[in-house]
């Protein structure tokens, strides 16, 4: 329960995760207890917390780097595709007589 005597709802829980993070041990004691109570009874709250933890793990993991030269290969392929689209099809053009 919160200081004003009401129970935390999922919307408030989500807001607190956004503001305070997914590590409930870092939350103020009153909010931490309300969150723990909510988690005991709400699958939606459990899902939100699990998703927030997954996001944190993803952000903390080693970034994946593109292979060397990938950007240059993409630009070259795009330039080649553009050239092929704009080239005249001289073999298909017949003059009308």
Give 42-97 pLDDT, tens digit per residue. 999 999 999 999 999 988 888 888 888 998 999 999 988 777 777 665 555 555 54
End-to-end CA distance of the chain: 91
pLDDT at residue number 81: 79
pLDDT at residue number 62: 86
What's the sign of the alpha-carbon dihedral 60, 55, 53, 38?
positive
């Amino acid at each position: 329960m919160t200081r004003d005597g009401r129970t935390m709802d999922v919307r408030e829980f989500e807001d607190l995760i956004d503001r305070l993070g997914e590590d409930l041990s870092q939350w103020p004691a009153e909010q931490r207890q309300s969150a723990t109570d909510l988690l005991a009874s709400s699958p939606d709250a459990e899902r939100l917390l699990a998703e927030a933890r997954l996001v944190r793990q993803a952000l903390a993991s080693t970034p994946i780097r593109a292979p060397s030269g990938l950007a240059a290969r993409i630009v070259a392929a795009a330039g080649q595709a553009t050239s092929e689209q704009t080239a005249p099809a001289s073999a298909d053009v017949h003059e009308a007589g």
